[in-house]
Structure 1
Amino acid sequence: MTRYGYFLSSEEYDPASLIKQAKMAEQAGFEALWISDHFHPWLDEQGNSSFVWSVIGAISQVTDLPVTTAVTCPTTRIHPAIIAQAAATAGLLTGGRFNLGVGTGEALNEHVTGQPWPAAEVRREMLEEAVDVIRALFAGGQVTHHGQHYTVETARLYSRPAQPPPIYVSGFGEQSAVLAARIGDGYICIGPEGDLVKRFRDQGGGAKPVQGGLKGCWAPDAAQARATLRQLWPSDFIPGESAQLLPTPRHFSQLAPLVSDDLVTAPAGPDPKPYLEALSSFEQAGFDEVYLQQVGGNLEGAFEFFATQVLPRARGN
């Protein structure tokens, strides 16, 4: 049976709101949490971008829900050895209920230290080596590593959980799905891409968990909800590789006018039917877990809606 979780947006909400939403999600009947890891928001209008590891520490003290980063890039902005330490600490604080979701990242977040933004094939190489470094440190011994992209000198994690956090690998193309099957304990894919799920499973992913996520905007008025989605998240509806390549929120703002109302296909408004259809599309595509994000505030109304109108019906209750 598909598990339904809630997606905490570090780009749209400040840390206190993220912690509040984590508690509200548990009370509403969600079974797990996603949280995004960004240095910048996609747009200035979103207005936030807190340090995810601090927020995870706070969340771990107010809810028992499992947490997955969706996703962390362990390649340029932060060295994989530091990500390993952060993830191990998160594993301890959550009592073993933490998954490290990783991906090749976006220039939007990763260019800030001044390093060049590599081509896609190089980013995949870097991610694979980074995961090797993280797993070696999770094992608990002293690690020295001199690789193509990373150096680690006599490093050891002293604070780490008995079981290392699972590593879920994000990917939105066929080559990334194959990489996730080879090196990941699970697979993350935003859209209900059944072909990519099949490729992941056929290439070695087998029965490993597959997670996906979608945005929605509950509001009393459907037209206003769609307008809010278009205002705050046009980047979700821009096709192509811009999400990986553009370096600043200003660049995404320049593309936002190209997103017409008919391109905004996420669930919006007070009718549960579009939400149920969207969740069903993930289930039909072979996803094991789906994470729903509320866009645009209205949190009390949204969580009541999810708790009474969406989750029970999605579960067949």
Structure 2
Amino acid sequence: MTEYGYFLSCEEFTPAELVDQARRAQQAGFTRLAISDHFHPWNDAQGNSAFVWSVIGALSQAVDLPVTTLVTCPTMRLHPAVTAQAAATSSVLLEGRFALGVGTGEALNEHVHGDRWPSFEERGEMLEEAIGVMRELFTGQQTSHRGRHYTVDNARLYTAPEAPVPILVSGFGPKAAELAGRVGDGFVTMTPDADMVAAFRDGGGAGKKVVGGVKVCWSSNREKAVDVVHQLWPSELLPGELAQVLPTPAHFEQAGKLVTRDMVADAVTCGDEVEGHVDTVRAYARAGFDEVYVGQIGPDQEVFFDAYRELVLPALRR
């Protein structure tokens, strides 16, 4: 049975707001949390970019829900050994209720050290090596590694998880789905695409978890909601590899001008029609997803949680 979680956007909200949303999500009946990991927001209008590991520490003291990163890039901005330490500590704080969603990243976040931005093939190779390094470190044993991309010298996690942290691999195409099936404990993808789920299953993901997420904007004024999404999240509708290769929020703002208001109105669930929200979320269950995380865009968080507690989540569970 599909579980329904809430998605916390580090790009759009302050750390205190994220913790408050987590509490509201638990009270509303969401059973899990996911949280983004960014160095920059997608645009200046979003206006935030908290360090995710600090926020996860706060979440561990505020709620009892499992937490998953959607997603962390453990290859460039943070060395995989440091990412493993952060993930292990998060798992300990959450008493094992933590999963590490990982991906090949975006230049927006990973270029900040001045490194060149590799091709997808090279980033996939880096991610696979990084996952191997992190799995060794999660054992709590002393680890040394000398690979093509990473060196680890006599490293040991003294605050180690009781059980290995599950690693879920993100992807948006057949190559990434195959990689997730081969090296991951699960697959993260953001569209309810049954064919992509099948590619993951066929690539070694049989019996493993499939996780997705969707952003909505609940509001009694649908036109206002469309405006809010158009202002804050036009990046959701950018095609192809743009989201992976543009390096700054300013570039995303330039590209976002190609996204029209009508495109947003057609693509994003806005307004307060319960059936529309139910259909949007249920599409993931129909495509074979085990977990789906819903994020509310904009400031109307209280009305969103009230509506989902009273109307949407009960309908989904029926």
Task: Tell me the TM-score normalized by structure 1.
Answer: 0.99
- 2:270 corresponds to which residue? 268
Look up the SS of the partner of 2:153 in the other structure.
strand
Aligned length: 316
State the Cα distance separating 1:249 from its structure 2 match: 0.3
Look up the SS of the partner of 1:60 in the other structure.
helix
State the Cα distance separating 1:63 from its structure 2 match: 0.5
Say yes or no: does 1:80 pair with 2:80. yes
State the Cα distance separating 1:62 from its structure 2 match: 0.8
- 1:281 corresponds to which residue? 283
Greater displacement, 82-91 / 194-203: 194-203
State the Cα distance separating 1:154 from its structure 2 match: 0.3
Whether the aligned pair in 1 keeps the contact of 2:139 and 2:160 (CA below 8 Å) is no
- 2:35 corresponds to which residue? 35
Say yes or no: does 1:100 pair with 2:88. no
Residue type of the partner of 2:271?
G
Q: How does 1:71-150 map to 2 (within 5 A)?
A: 71-150=71-150
Provide the C-alpha distance between the structure 2 equivalents of 1:106 and 1:292, rounded to a whole number of angstroms: 22
Whether the aligned pair in 2 keeps the contact of 1:91 and 1:164 (CA below 8 Å) is no
State the Cα distance separating 1:53 from its structure 2 match: 0.1
- 2:181 corresponds to which residue? 181
State the Cα distance separating 1:227 from its structure 2 match: 1.1
Provide the C-alpha distance between the structure 1 equivalents of 2:194 and 2:106, rounded to a whole number of angstroms: 24
Provide the C-alpha distance between the structure 2 equivalents of 1:215 and 1:221, rounded to a whole number of angstroms: 17
Residue type of the partner of 2:277?
Y
Task: Give 5+ residue unaligned stretches, structure 1.
Answer: none
State the Cα distance separating 1:218 from its structure 2 match: 1.1
State the Cα distance separating 1:262 from its structure 2 match: 2.9
State the Cα distance separating 1:276 from its structure 2 match: 0.8
Residue type of the partner of 1:278?
T
State the Cα distance separating 1:76 from its structure 2 match: 0.4
Residue type of the partner of 2:45?
E
Residue type of the partner of 1:305?
A
Provide the C-alpha distance between the structure 2 equivalents of 1:255 and 1:115, rounded to a whole number of angstroms: 23
Say yes or no: does 1:193 pair with 2:193. yes
Greater displacement, 286-295 / 275-284: 275-284
Look up the SS of the partner of 2:111 in the other structure.
helix
- 1:214 corresponds to which residue? 214
Provide the C-alpha distance between the structure 2 equivalents of 1:194 and 1:297, rounded to a whole number of angstroms: 32
State the Cα distance separating 1:77 from its structure 2 match: 0.4
Task: Tell me the TM-score normalized by structure 2.
Answer: 0.98
Residue type of the partner of 2:157?
L
Provide the C-alpha distance between the structure 2 equivalents of 1:145 and 1:242, rounded to a whole number of angstroms: 34
State the Cα distance separating 1:205 from its structure 2 match: 0.2
Whether the aligned pair in 2 keeps the contact of 1:193 and 1:285 (CA below 8 Å) is yes
Provide the C-alpha distance between the structure 1 equivalents of 2:82 and 2:26, rounded to a whole number of angstroms: 30
State the Cα distance separating 1:2 from its structure 2 match: 0.8
Whether the aligned pair in 1 keeps the contact of 2:88 and 2:160 (CA below 8 Å) is yes
- 1:310 corresponds to which residue? 312
Residue type of the partner of 2:283?
S
Say yes or no: does 1:151 pair with 2:151. yes
State the Cα distance separating 1:261 from its structure 2 match: 2.5
Provide the C-alpha distance between the structure 2 equivalents of 1:62 and 1:256, rounded to a whole number of angstroms: 35
Whether the aligned pair in 1 keeps the contact of 2:104 and 2:127 (CA below 8 Å) is yes
Provide the C-alpha distance between the structure 2 equivalents of 1:282 and 1:6, rounded to a whole number of angstroms: 14
Provide the C-alpha distance between the structure 2 equivalents of 1:162 and 1:2, rounded to a whole number of angstroms: 26
- 2:16 corresponds to which residue? 16
Look up the SS of the partner of 2:99 in the other structure.
strand
How high is the sequence identity, in percent, across the aligned residues?
A: 56
State the Cα distance separating 1:203 from its structure 2 match: 1.2
